[in-house]
């Protein structure tokens, strides 16, 4: 018998604490309905459960997204349906009426007026069919929203400019359009170097002006300053030589070191015939001997195209330079800005750029239809305005135009029908996806429930068991506390027997 340590009471106390904790844990699960209330309850299960809950919530949002997508598709399809019937149907009916030879001119005017109203109605439907402010039937096409682009390329361009007295107005025209020319090229990412050669009366025997050469530069602001700072000479055209500006060994355009992989373009700007020594040789006039045909051959062999900016008076002669080299002749006195822009486009193509990209694809909407990244459904919108349908210019007068208009309307109706079918297919596909998402969500919810939900019957049994154990432990602990009292009884008994 001992008194310092009541081991029976200590053992009973530990059992009481264990039963109390087990009872408390069961009560926590019963009150929350969850088997896992903290990570300590099931560390691995808690991690898996949270991942599943993220999927479940994602699927619930995806389901709502799909329903929004279906509503959008239904809105678009209803708008297209209104365009098809009654509008396109009525348009076709009016054209057929106009094809009847019994109508007067005044009758056809009235029919045309109604056709214009029908067109306006189609555009009104297309422009006002929206879903959450997104225009579904009048979205911007790629062409309208993104400027045409070119793939990058490389070019070396040299202007050879006649600066004799008669060129004042011509040079001013070049200066006024040089920004547009350069912007047309550089706006598409081309790697371009540009240089300037100027020449006047180059007859050295008569004190003529030298050929002047600027550095070939990729700084196009510097090149613009070269062009803008051109000053005329006082000389006339009689002794000038455009060939000198091209082929002079020291300062002519051919003296530039051009890149081997670039599109090489020389642009001769003049209003006069050049001095062609193939006709008379040097003739004692002191000018260098250059031959148009020889220079054309040299340019061609070096892969250089020569384009002339001139007048009709010089075209016949200078085509001997442009034609063999693959260049062109631009009349500076007629639509110069448009011709220069067209010429810039050709340079881009020569430089290795692709032609202007004209994509008529409509914007696409991406619907998030799953709980994870990449689970998307793509909707392509449709431009249902009259211009895109090809019926913006339908006419019924004369009869030939009415026949053409009927064909246009038939094509428009075919196009609209195909688009309605497309949107119907979108709706069906989204409804199938919605069912799959709901089914997936149900199954993963069931799997998550098996991990995290409490088995209420089991927890009630556990709580009842541990409650009984706890009460029993309390009773036993009371008994264990009285056990040391037997020592006192023993001592009292012993003392009573002493003499």
Cβ-in-10-Å burial (0-12, 13-18, 19+) of 245 comes to buried
User: Taking all residues of the chain, what is their mean pLDDT, rounded to a whole number?
Assistant: 84
Query: Above 50 in pLDDT, residue 157?
Result: yes
Count of beta carbons in the 10 Å neighbourhood of residue 455: 12
Task: Work out the percent of the chain whose per-residue pLDDT is above 70.
Answer: 87
Quote the pLDDT of residue 304. 93
Give residue 220's pLDDT.
86
pLDDT higher than threshold 50 for residue 231: yes
287, 202 Cβ separation under 8 angstroms: yes
Per-residue model confidence as pLDDT tens digits over 63-121? 999 999 999 999 999 999 999 999 999 999 999 999 998 989 889 899 999 999 999 99
- Please identify which residue in the block is written with the tokens 């009349």: 331
Cis peptide before 406 (omega within 30 of 0): no
Residue with more model confidence, 348 or 362: 348
Q: Could you tell me the two tokens for 259?
A: 């890149």
pLDDT at position 202:
60
**Residue located via tokens 């009481």:** 16
Most confident of 220-234, 237-251, 353-367: 220-234
Q: What is the pLDDT of residue 497?
A: 65
Question: Cα angle vertex 428, ends 426, 432, to 5°?
Answer: 115
Given a cut of 90, is residue 469 above it in pLDDT?
A: no
pLDDT at 208: 60
For residue 472, pLDDT beyond 80: yes
pLDDT surpassing 50 at residue 144? no
Task: Give the confidence band of 160 by pLDDT, cuts at 50, 70, 90.
Answer: very high
Would you state the structure tokens that stand for residue 486, as one six-digit string?
Answer: 């037997």
- Which pLDDT belongs to residue 358? 42
Q: What pLDDT score does 491 carry?
A: 74
Kindly report the pTM of this predicted structure.
0.51
Higher-confidence position of 348 and 405: 405
- Whole-number pLDDT of residue 84: 95
Label residue 156 by pLDDT band (50, 70, 90). Answer: very high
Could you give phi then psi for residue 213, rounded to 5 degrees? Answer: -120, 130
Q: In the prediction, which pLDDT does 2 show?
A: 65
Strand partners, 131: 134
DSSP run (H or E) holding 123: helix 105-128
How far apart CA 249 and CA 45 sit, in angstroms, is 87
Query: Lowest-confidence range among 45-59, 198-212, 422-436?
Result: 198-212
Instruction: Convert the pLDDT of each residue in 362-386 to its tens digit.
Output: 678 999 999 999 999 999 999 999 9
Percent of the chain with pLDDT over 90: 39
Cα dihedral across residues 210, 211, 215, 217: positive or negative: positive
pLDDT at res. 234: 65
Q: What per-residue string of b and e applies to 408-418 under the rule 16 or more CB within 10 Å gives b?
A: bbeebbebbee
Q: Does the pLDDT value for residue 207 go beyond 70? A: no
Contacts of 481 (CB under 8 A, 6+ apart): 6, 9
Q: Distances from the Cα of 407 to the Cαs of 84, 114, 126, 410, in angstroms? A: 15, 19, 22, 5
- Position 33 scores a pLDDT of 86
Nearest to 270 by CA among 288, 246, 286, 247: 246
Q: Which of 298, 202, 320, 179 is nearest to 251 (CA)?
A: 202
Write the pLDDT tens digit of every residue in 259-309: 988 889 999 998 887 776 665 555 444 445 678 889 999 999 999 999 999
Give dist(CA 395, CA 404) in Å, integer.
Answer: 8
pLDDT at position 355, please? 45
Distances (CA, A) of 169 to 176, 178, 310, 385, 458: 11, 14, 12, 46, 102
Confidence of residue 453 (pLDDT cuts 50, 70, 90): confident
Which pLDDT tens digit goes with each residue over 164-201? 878 888 899 889 888 888 888 876 668 899 999 998 87
Which pLDDT score, from 0 to 100, does residue 375 have?
93
The residue with tokens 């969850």 is 34
Query: What is the residue-wise DSSP string for 221-269?
Result: HHHHHHHHT----S--STT--HHHHHH-TTTSGGGS---TTSEEEEEEE
pLDDT for res 164: 84
Q: Angle at CA 428, nearest 5°, toward 425 and 431?
A: 150
Per-residue confidence (pLDDT) for residue 12, from 0 to 100: 82
Which residue's structure tokens are 């107005």? 169
- For residue 5, pLDDT over 80 is answered with no
């Amino acid at each position: 018998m001992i008194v310092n340590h009541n081991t029976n009471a200590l053992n009973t106390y530990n059992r009481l604490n264990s039963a109390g904790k087990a009872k408390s844990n069961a009560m926590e699960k019963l009150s929350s309905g969850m088997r896992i209330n903290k990570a300590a309850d099931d560390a691995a299960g808690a991690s898996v459960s949270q991942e599943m809950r993220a999927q479940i919530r994602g699927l619930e949002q995806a389901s709502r997204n799909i329903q929004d997508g279906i509503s959008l598709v239904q809105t678009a399809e209803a708008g297209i349906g209104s365009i098809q019937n009654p509008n396109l149907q009525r348009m076709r009916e009016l054209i057929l009426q106009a094809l009847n030879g019994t109508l007067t001119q005044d009758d056809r005017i009235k029919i045309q007026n109604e056709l214009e109203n029908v067109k306006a109605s189609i555009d009104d439907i297309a422009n006002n069919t929206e879903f959450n402010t997104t225009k579904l039937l009048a979205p911007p096409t790629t062409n309208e929203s993104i400027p045409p682009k070119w793939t990058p390329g490389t070019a070396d361009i040299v202007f050879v400019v006649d600066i004799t007295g008669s060129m004042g107005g011509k040079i001013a025209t070049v200066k006024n359009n040089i920004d547009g020319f350069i912007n047309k090229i550089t706006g598409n990412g081309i790697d371009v170097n540009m240089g300037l050669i100027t020449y006047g009366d180059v007859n050295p025997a008569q004190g003529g002006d030298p050929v002047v050469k600027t550095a070939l530069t990729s700084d196009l602001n510097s090149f613009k300053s070269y062009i803008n700072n051109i000053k005329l000479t006082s000389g006339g055209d009689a002794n000038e030589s455009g060939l000198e500006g091209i082929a002079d060994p020291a300062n002519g355009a051919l003296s530039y070191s051009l890149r081997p992989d670039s599109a090489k373009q020389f642009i001769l700007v003049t209003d006069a015939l050049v001095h062609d020594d193939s006709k008379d040789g040097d003739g004692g006039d002191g000018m260098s001997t250059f031959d148009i045909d020889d220079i054309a051959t040299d340019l061609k062999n070096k892969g250089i195209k020569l384009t002339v900016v001139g007048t009709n008076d010089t075209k016949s002669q200078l085509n001997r330079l442009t034609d063999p080299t693959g260049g062109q002749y631009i009349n500076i006195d007629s639509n110069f800005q448009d011709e220069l822009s067209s010429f810039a486009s050709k340079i881009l193509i020569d430089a290795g750029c692709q032609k202007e990209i004209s994509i008529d694809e409509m914007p696409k909407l991406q619907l998030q239809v799953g709980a994870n990244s990449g689970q998307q459904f793509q909707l392509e919108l449709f431009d249902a305005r009259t211009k895109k349908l090809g019926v913006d210019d339908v006419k019924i007068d004369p009869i030939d135009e009415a026949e053409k208009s009927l064909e246009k309307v038939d094509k428009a109706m075919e196009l609209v029908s195909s688009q309605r079918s497309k949107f119907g297919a979108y709706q069906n596909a989204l409804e199938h996806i919605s069912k799959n998402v709901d089914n997936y969500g149900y199954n993963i919810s069931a799997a998550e429930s098996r991990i995290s939900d409490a088995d209420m019957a089991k927890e009630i049994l556990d709580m009842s068991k541990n409650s009984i154990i706890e009460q029993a432990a309390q009773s036993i602990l009371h008994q264990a506390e009285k056990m040391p009292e037997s020592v006192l009884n023993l001592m009292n008994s012993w003392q009573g027997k002493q003499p």
